[in-house]
């Protein structure tokens, strides 16, 4: 099971990748939403790892997240990325930017606040 630090490193790596996508290119909007979601997933998993909880799949994680104050933001990221990944749905430029610039930072900042000085 990944450590807190490994989850944080993965979240940060996904966030670094987000800058290479061109939000003006409609083909990239799906990828922005997907990568933003997976960055959020690793932020959440870092928090859960501190608690000794290591979800094995989206269903387990989603159930736990419903109890957290970031449930709305995480749920919106999840549903948007799911549409892009599995339902061949197009993610609009506005939704992609919202995922990257609003929802993901809310989740990151909340987790960082919970982790405090945890490496």
Q: What is the pLDDT of residues 62-104, one digit of tens each?
A: 999 999 999 999 999 999 999 988 877 789 999 999 999 999 9
Which CATH fold would you assign to the domain 4-115? 1.20.120
In this structure, the number of other CB atoms found within 10 A of the CB of residue 68 comes to: 17
Q: Would you say residue 119 has pLDDT above 60?
A: no
Non-local (6+) Cβ contacts of 73 within 8 A are 40, 103, 106, 107
pLDDT band at 43 (very low <50, low <70, confident <90, very high): very high
Nearest to 77 by CA among 23, 53, 41: 41
Of 23, 2, 24, nearest in space to 13 by CA:
2
pTM of the model: 0.94
3-class state of residue 54 by DSSP: coil
Q: Where are the domains of the chain?
A: 4-115
């Amino acid at each position: 099971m990944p450590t807190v630090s490994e989850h944080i490193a993965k979240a940060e790596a996904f966030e670094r990748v987000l800058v290479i996508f061109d939000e003006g290119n409609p083909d990239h909007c799906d990828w922005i939403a997907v990568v933003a979601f997976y960055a959020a997933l690793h932020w959440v998993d870092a928090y859960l790892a501190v608690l000794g909880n290591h979800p094995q799949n989206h269903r387990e994680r989603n159930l736990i997240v419903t109890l957290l104050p970031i449930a709305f933001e995480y749920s919106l990221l999840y549903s948007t990325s799911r549409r892009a990944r599995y339902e061949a749905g197009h993610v609009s430029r506005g939704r992609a930017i919202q995922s990257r610039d609003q929802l993901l930072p809310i989740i990151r900042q909340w987790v960082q606040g919970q982790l405090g000085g945890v490496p």
